[in-house]
Amino acid sequence: MLLIPAIDLKDGHCVRLQQGDMQKATTFGEDPAAMARQWLQAGARRLHLVDLNGAFAGKPQNFAAIKSILKAVENYANEVDLGEIPVQLGGGIRDLDTIEKYIDAGIRYVIIGTAAVKNPGFLQDACAAFGGHIIVGLDAKDGKVATDGWSKLTGHEVIDLGKKFEDYGVESIIYTDIGRDGMLSGINIDATVKLAQALTIPVIASGGLGSMADIEQLCAVEGEGIEGVICGRAIYSGDLDFAAAQARADELNG
C-alpha cells in the first residue's frame, strides 16, 4: 500500500483546502521543494502534486514550483541511490502539449480530471500518445462525478466512467469522495472497494484520510485492487504520522 503525500500548490505555496474551496486554504509551507524532501525523508515512495490555480484556470500556473519539486526529488533519489521516485501531477491539464511539457520536465504520471469527463476524445488521444503515463482523477459525491474544481455535479456514475476510461488505456484511477476531502472524516472504503472491484486497473483512494485506522482498513482491502492512498490534511495537521503510517502499511501488507 503506497501512502502518497499530497503537495497542493496555490500561488507557489503549499496549502490544503477543505472540500476543494479555494477560499478555505490553509498554508502549510512556503517552500514546495523543502516540503517534498520532508516527505521523501519520512519514507514516501511517490508524491502527488496538484496545481490548484491551474485546476481553476484550466492551464498550468505553478510550473516554477513544480520544477523545484522535481529537482529536489531527483537530488534526493541520487543521494540515497533509490532510482526514480515517481511524481504524479494534476490540475488544469487540458491539452497534449501540456502533458508533453510535464513529462519532459520529469513528471511520471499526469492526472486528468475534468477534461476526461468533458472531453473523452482528449483522454483517448492522451492515452494513445503517452501510454503508461495517464491517470484519471474521478471526484465524486454520492456516486456521481463532479467536475470544474468540484463546482459542478454531473449525472455520470463513477463505475460507468471508470470502466470506460479503463478501456481507453489509463494507468490507474484516483477516486476522491469530495464530501470528505480535507475533513479528516475517514476514507469512503465501501465506494472505493466497489470501484476497484469493477476494474482491473489499480485504484488510488483519496479524500478524508484521518487516522491510522483508515490505513489499516485500506490495507485489509488492498487485494481488491487498491494500490495506494493520497495523504493530505492529516499528515500536515499531525493527526497522522506519515512515517509511522507507511511503516504500518508495510508491516501489514509487505
HSE-up of residue 83 (Cα within 13 Å, Cβ side): 3
- Position 107 scores a pLDDT of 98
Residues of the chain scoring pLDDT < 50: none
Q: Please give the pLDDT value at position 174.
A: 98
Residue 19 has a pLDDT of 65
**Identity of the amino acid at 179:** G
Closest CA to 93 of 67, 64, 65, 117: 117
Catalytic residue set: 8, 139
Residue 144: the pLDDT is 86
State if pTM tops 0.75. yes
- Per-residue pLDDT tens over the stretch 185-220: 789 999 999 999 999 999 999 988 999 999 999 999
DSSP for the chain? -EEEEEEEEETTEEEEEETTEEEEEEEEES-HHHHHHHHHHTT-S-EEEEEHHHHHHTS---HHHHHHHHHHHHHHHHHHT-----EEEESS--SHHHHHHHHHHT-SEEEE-HHHHH-HHHHHHHHHHSTTSEEEEEEEETTEEEETTTTEEEEEEHHHHHHHHHHHT-SEEEEEETTTTTTTS---HHHHHHHHHH-SS-EEEES---SHHHHHHHHHTGGGTEEEEEE-HHHHHTSS-HHHHHHHHHHHH-
> Taking the C-alpha atoms of 127, 133, 139 and 144 in order, what is their torsion angle to the nearest 10 degrees?
30
| pLDDT at site 27 | 85
- Note whether 84 and 91 are within 8 A (CB): no
pLDDT confidence of residue 82: 85
Closest CA to 232 of 198, 205, 208, 196: 208
131-141 residue pLDDT tens: 999 999 999 88
Q: What is the pLDDT of residue 151?
A: 67
